Structure 1
Amino acid sequence: MLKIAWSEIFAHSLPEGHRFPMAKYDLLPEQLLYEGTITQDNLFAPEPLDEPFILDTHDAGYWHRLRDLQLTPSEVRKTGFPLSEQLVQREVVIMNGTVQASLFALEYGIGMNIAGGTHHAFTDRGEGFCLLNDIAIAANHLLKYKSINKVLVVDLDVHQGNGTAQIFEHEPRVFTFSMHCGHNYPFHKEKSDLDVPLAEGTDDATYLQLLRHHLPRLLDEVQPEFVFFQSGVDVLATDKLGKLGMTIDGCKARDRAVLELCQQNNLPVTVSMGGGYSRQIAHIIEAHANTFRLAQQLFF
């Protein structure tokens, strides 16, 4: 059964001024339930992640200052959110959503988080609407507690997964692959194991050709036992922050390419939603919903 992390805290704990497009965290499950792609049985509400699992990835000093709301004004500005107890609680729930989705993926082949994809969080700081790094926390959980020895991160958000790259810079058991707009945030890029920077306006055909060239080769070379897929839909041409030229159909073809390879190679995969900032919320919901539709179609 497809298991999907979702909690009301994903959308309802955000400050005024940040509710759109974060409304997708409520609208997306509503759409999937309405159309019959999922039922309530597919959804699970994660509890907050226990602190020791956070400290397997993040610097203790940073985490304690974040937990106790003691970040400096400069650190808070870089996150993009005003700091609050509710916001930290939201982040900790999202972290466990991805951890639990990963455990479900070991059982069912795939697990998903309607939130997550917080790839701009570093070991010791947050950036770009990311306070903690769910992909890194979940990957470290599998490496430490579940006998997984090789992880591939496939980050296809329009922005480079700079925090994930930094966290795993010296961890040979995790291979980080980021395909992103080259001239976009973050303006200082970290070094992933493989970075594929894209030109502004990159269209569906060019994007998919590059992805289909790199990803099968990486599966052969890296020989991962588990995949984390950051499936941000800010690659759309309609996205306010994206700068690429992809259509909703192209984004769906991207997701199909990743998920089919995982399914065909018996690779468990955890999917985090990542970014999406199109002016019309319907574009965001449709692009994200396609990811869940494909998961049901391909795995169940």
Structure 2
Amino acid sequence: MQVFSNDRFALSLPAGHSFPMPKYRLLRERVQAELPGLRLAEAEPASEGELALAHTPDYIGAVLGGTLPAAMQREIGFPWSERMVERSLRSVGATIAAARAALAEGVAAQLGGGTHHATADKGGGYCVFNDVAVAARLMQAEVHRRQRRMLRVWVIDLDVHQGNGSAAIFRDDPTVFTLSLHGAKNFPFRKEASDLDVELPDGCRDDQYLQALDRALDEAWQRQQLTGPPGLAFYLAGADPHEDDRLGRLKLSLAGLAERDRRVFALLGRQRVPVAVTMAGGYGRDIAVTVAAQLETVRLAQAAWRDCQAGDSARAGAWQQSAR
């Protein structure tokens, strides 16, 4: 399975900053040490033209040139620097690369990404550009150019915070279905309407969460059959629903998070939908716990990839034909 990382472009944040920047390096190191057989690479940065598929030219120019108003920069949560720009471009590039690899091989992952709070004209919540939105639009363009067909996309957002940026970008786009399971009382406090939102109460535990997930996946899949099934899914596998997360407010165990991932991969595997996985959020009081949760997501993605490779010829052909 192909996996992409951009942790080499980590930011040096002020002392006491709440964002756990080291988690990306720690995850990449554990993936390399514990998951042999993965093809780990560093993706190229996204181009300005690619960013413009989901973001306004004025916003792109302000980010790249460091001319965002101070209030907009504070909303992002990172101070501006050339390093911040490079990291943001690399993050989008890694999700683009994972999406291409997923179309070719069924499953791929990037060890970051899931920056779902960025809208077309502003960032927020540690999200500068919306990597999934850019990658989705680019894959649609590439598939249409090669095959003269519309690629329908499913965004499965299981970060604990609502994917407001993705919902806003795709609000009037019937070719992209957005599903978000999130804490009802958590950030962002002003939410956007996804195609399907499931709001969960504080303290939600494994059984309640998994029941809600099953219902949501079933409803989303049934609704998508009315317009045609997706040809690509993006899975935002946030670790922040975990019970030890500083910003999560839910109470899922590590076993519950792993079962969540299994159910998503099982559905997509049964329906032969390629999937690009991003890690999204994770703010554990113990960073090692967040890394362990995300490592298990990558492990389960690798198992799903192996199932795809070992499947019957008809299944493998259906997954791989999307890349032609």
Asked if TM exceeds 0.5, the reply is yes
Q: 1:78 aligns with which of 75, 78, 87?
A: 75
Mapped to 2, the partners of 1:140 and 1:159 lie a distance apart of: 23
What's the counterpart of residue 27 of structure 2?
Answer: 28
The runs of 4+ residues in structure 1 deviating greater than 4 Å are: none
Q: 1:251 aligns with which of 257, 267, 272?
A: 257
**What SS does the aligned partner of 2:31 have?**
helix
Residues 234 and 241 in structure 1, CA contact (< 8 A), matched pair in contact too? yes
What's the counterpart of residue 195 of structure 1?
Answer: 197
Alignment-mate amino acid for residue 55 of structure 1: A
Q: TM-score, normalised by structure 1?
A: 0.95
Which stretch shifts more, 192-201 or 210-219?
210-219
Residues 232 and 275 in structure 1, CA contact (< 8 A), matched pair in contact too? yes
Deviations 1:74-98 (A, max 9, x none): 0011001111111011000110100
Q: 1:63 aligns with which of 60, 64, 67?
A: 60
Deviations 1:143-164 (A, max 9, x none): 1221342111100000000000
Q: TM-score, normalised by structure 2?
A: 0.89
Which stretch shifts more, 107-116 or 141-150?
141-150
Mapped to 2, the partners of 1:75 and 1:272 lie a distance apart of: 25
Map 1:45-194 → 2, pairs under 5 A:
45-147=42-144, 148-194=150-196
**What SS does the aligned partner of 1:180 have?**
strand
Mapped to 2, the partners of 1:97 and 1:14 lie a distance apart of: 20
Residues 95 and 278 in structure 2, CA contact (< 8 A), matched pair in contact too? yes
Alignment-mate amino acid for residue 7 of structure 1: N
Map 1:256-271 → 2, pairs under 5 A:
256-271=262-277
What's the counterpart of residue 299 of structure 2?
Answer: 293
Deviations 1:90-143 (A, max 9, x none): 000110100010000011101111010000000000000000000100000111
Say how many residue pairs are matched. 296
Alignment-mate amino acid for residue 145 of structure 1: E
Alignment-mate amino acid for residue 62 of structure 1: Y
Mapped to 2, the partners of 1:237 and 1:109 lie a distance apart of: 31
Residues 59 and 121 in structure 2, CA contact (< 8 A), matched pair in contact too? yes
Mapped to 2, the partners of 1:193 and 1:20 lie a distance apart of: 29
Residues 162 and 191 in structure 2, CA contact (< 8 A), matched pair in contact too? yes
Mapped to 1, the partners of 2:265 and 2:30 lie a distance apart of: 21
Residues 10 and 25 in structure 1, CA contact (< 8 A), matched pair in contact too? no
Aligned pair in 2 of structure 1 residues 162, 86: CA closer, same or farther (>3 Å)?
same
Alignment-mate amino acid for residue 270 of structure 2: Q
What are structure 1's unaligned runs of at least 5 residues? none
1:167 Cα deviation after fit: 0.3
Mapped to 1, the partners of 2:96 and 2:158 lie a distance apart of: 20
CA RMSD of aligned residues (A): 1.3
Map 1:210-221 → 2, pairs under 5 A:
210-221=212-223
Alignment-mate amino acid for residue 243 of structure 2: A
Mapped to 2, the partners of 1:202 and 1:271 lie a distance apart of: 24
What are structure 2's unaligned runs of at least 5 residues? 145-149, 307-324
1:20 Cα deviation after fit: 5.7
